[in-house]
């Protein structure tokens, strides 16, 4: 009986290792590419059954040509990423609201460390004007409103955006610890928080 029980446990562990990570990887890839683009997701957890209890070792994401909608984070958007001790998310040629993103990364080396957020993008007054109909509120809406008022109306001239930030997840909600960079002279904290949340929400 003990041998049979041990064999069943081993079989269950092997089966979960073969089935659980691929299922979660496929689910994440499908959500990331819901509005177009390409993405690959790799999940590490040993044993894989830990993933059923919101615990994993590492998630690695590569994406190109994705689209996310910006929003002011108000709930646990980081919950899925937080289940992993380490995160390595690198996306290229992405659109995020009115911003054309050349490259964005979201990295974490351990569960005790904040996420390192890095963004290289551009935005135009014309794109901001087209996006104004979304009527965003909160810090992000105020940021976009001030940014739009400081640019030449309907200009197609791109404004470069480069931001680095340390973001701590508190109950799944992003909290900025530090931000380096600005957009047309405005502090880029609301943008960093909103874009990091939009990416995390895709998982």
Q: Please tell me whether the overall predicted TM-score, pTM, comes out greater than 0.75 for this model.
A: yes
- Decide if pLDDT at 111 tops 70: yes
* Mean pLDDT of the residues in the chain: 84
Residue 136 phi, psi (nearest 5): -70, 145
| Neighbouring-strand partners of residue 56 | 84
- Residue 143 corresponds to which tokens in the numbers above? 């940021």
In percent, the amount of the chain with pLDDT more than 90 equals 45
Closest among 31, 76, 24, 28 to 45, alpha carbons compared: 24
Tens digit of each residue's pLDDT (9 = 90 or more) over 7-25: 555 544 555 555 567 888 8
> Quick one: DSSP state of residue 5?
H
154: alpha, beta or left, given left = phi > 0 and alpha = psi -120 to 50? left
111: alpha, beta or left, given left = phi > 0 and alpha = psi -120 to 50? alpha
């Amino acid at each position: 009986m003990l041998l049979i029980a041990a064999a069943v446990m081993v079989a269950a562990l092997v089966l979960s290792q073969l089935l659980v990570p691929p299922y979660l990887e496929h689910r994440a890839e499908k959500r990331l590419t819901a509005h177009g683009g390409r993405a690959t997701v790799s999940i590490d957890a040993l044993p894989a059954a830990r993933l059923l209890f919101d615990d994993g070792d590492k998630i690695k994401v590569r994406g190109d040509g994705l689209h996310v909608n910006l929003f002011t984070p108000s709930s646990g958007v980081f919950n899925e990423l937080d289940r992993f001790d380490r995160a390595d998310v690198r996306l290229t040629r992405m659109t995020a609201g009115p911003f054309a993103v050349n490259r964005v990364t979201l990295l974490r080396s351990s569960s005790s460390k904040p996420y390192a957020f890095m963004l290289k993008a551009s935005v135009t007054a014309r794109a901001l004007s087209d996006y104004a109909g979304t009527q965003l509120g909160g810090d992000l809406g105020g940021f976009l409103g001030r940014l739009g008022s400081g640019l030449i109306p309907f200009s197609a001239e791109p404004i470069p955006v480069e931001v680095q930030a340390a973001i701590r997840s508190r109950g799944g909600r992003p909290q900025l610890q530090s931000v380096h960079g600005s957009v047309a002279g405005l502090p880029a904290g609301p943008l960093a928080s909103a874009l990091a949340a939009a990416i995390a929400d895709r998982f």
